[in-house]
Structure 1
Amino acid sequence: MDFKLAKEIMQSAGYKATGQRKLVFEILERYNEEHLTPEEIHKYVKKENENIGIATVYRTLLLFDNLGIVQKLNIDDSGARYELVEELEGHHHHHLICSKCSGVEEVRVDLLDEVEKKIEESHGFKIENHELKFYGICKNCNEEGEICE
């Protein structure tokens, strides 16, 4: 998603695309692969505008989440992380979460297409979305650099 689309979404919902919101969006865009926490987003935002407080970042993320601009990821007990929603993405991608460093890596293959079809057929349940997380030890934290058996 680019800011032009995010701005249209905000305006159609009656919100202004303020400079502060644009800056939070740009930080999310720049560091999207890192799945930042609100505190990390604030750290980057403050480098560009020291007058933006953490409360503004939280309010902006709440608004973006409510409008479908970001996806809130509850990875572990360390709090929420955020990533921009991709345009035309039918389902969210999946995540690999390291138990040691809490790093997050994306898996861009939708692994549950067949499972969804079976559930919809057998239960008459229309699935709108799903989320799948795998927990383990990432390559960087694994001493040998290989997945242990």
Structure 2
Amino acid sequence: MAMEHRIERIKKQLHAQSYKLTPQREATVRVLLEREEDHLSAEDIYLLVKEKAPEIGLATVYRTLELLSELKIVDKINFGDGVSRYDLRKEGAEHFHHHLVCIECGSVEEIVDDLLGDVEKIVENDWGFQVKDHRLTFHGICKQCQKVAVKTT
């Protein structure tokens, strides 16, 4: 039921900007909801959407992802590997969540806590810059890879 509720919310967000939740857009949103933890690329999303809607084209999926990014329903992120990935914004999330990217195995973990609230205030007060959003990515070595490194040394 939670998925239907979120789809309904996204449908309303689209309508508010004069867009429709077409079957192709809905199939794309469903894939993003089903695989929320996976930080999928456009190609990954396309392959999964194709299972639900075989007639859909890659260009349609790209356009849908760009539209969802513009409307801030989806966050487009890049972890420095040259591949854009797409992350559904959490319900009611004011800010982007943060990521821990392992440089050994490529795993991605999320930090949902907003670590930069105070930093935003400093930027706004000291630089007079009105912050609308921020993203923070830590590159390092995850717990699992650290354990493997300890065993092999």
Query: Taking structure 1 as the reference length, what is the TM-score of the superposition?
Result: 0.88
5+ long unaligned stretches in structure 2: none
Q: Which of the two has greater helix per residue?
A: 2
Task: Decide whether the 8 Å contact of 1:139 with 1:145 is kept in 2.
Answer: no
Secondary structure class of the residue paired with 2:143: coil
**For the residues of structure 1 that align with 2:20 and 2:149, how far apart are their CA atoms?**
47
Match of 2:43 in 1: 39
Match of 2:122 in 1: 118
5+ long unaligned stretches in structure 1: none
1:127 aligns with 2:131: yes
Q: Which 10-residue stretch deviates more, 121-130 or 38-47?
A: 121-130
Aligned counterpart in structure 2 of residue 21 of structure 1, from 21, 25, 33:
25
> Equivalences for 1:18-97 in 2 at 5 Å?
18-97=22-101
Match of 2:7 in 1: 3
Percent of aligned pairs sharing the same letter = 42
**For the residues of structure 2 that align with 1:139 and 1:44, how far apart are their CA atoms?**
30
**For the residues of structure 1 that align with 2:94 and 2:53, how far apart are their CA atoms?**
35
Q: Which has the higher contact order (CA 8 A, sep 6+)?
A: 1
Q: Could you tell me which amino acid in structure 2 is paired with residue 13 of structure 1?
A: Q
Aligned length: 146
Deviation, 1:88, is: 2.1
**For the residues of structure 1 that align with 2:28 and 2:144, how far apart are their CA atoms?**
29
Q: Which 10-residue stretch deviates more, 42-51 or 58-67?
A: 42-51
Runs of 4+ that moved beyond 6 A = none
Q: Could you tell me which amino acid in structure 2 is paired with residue 92 of structure 1?
A: F
Q: Could you tell me which amino acid in structure 2 is paired with residue 74 of structure 1?
A: N
**For the residues of structure 2 that align with 1:102 and 1:78, how far apart are their CA atoms?**
13
Q: Which 10-residue stretch deviates more, 44-53 or 118-127?
A: 118-127
Secondary structure class of the residue paired with 2:21: coil
Secondary structure class of the residue paired with 2:40: coil
Q: Could you tell me which amino acid in structure 1 is paired with residue 137 of structure 2?
A: K
Secondary structure class of the residue paired with 1:91: coil
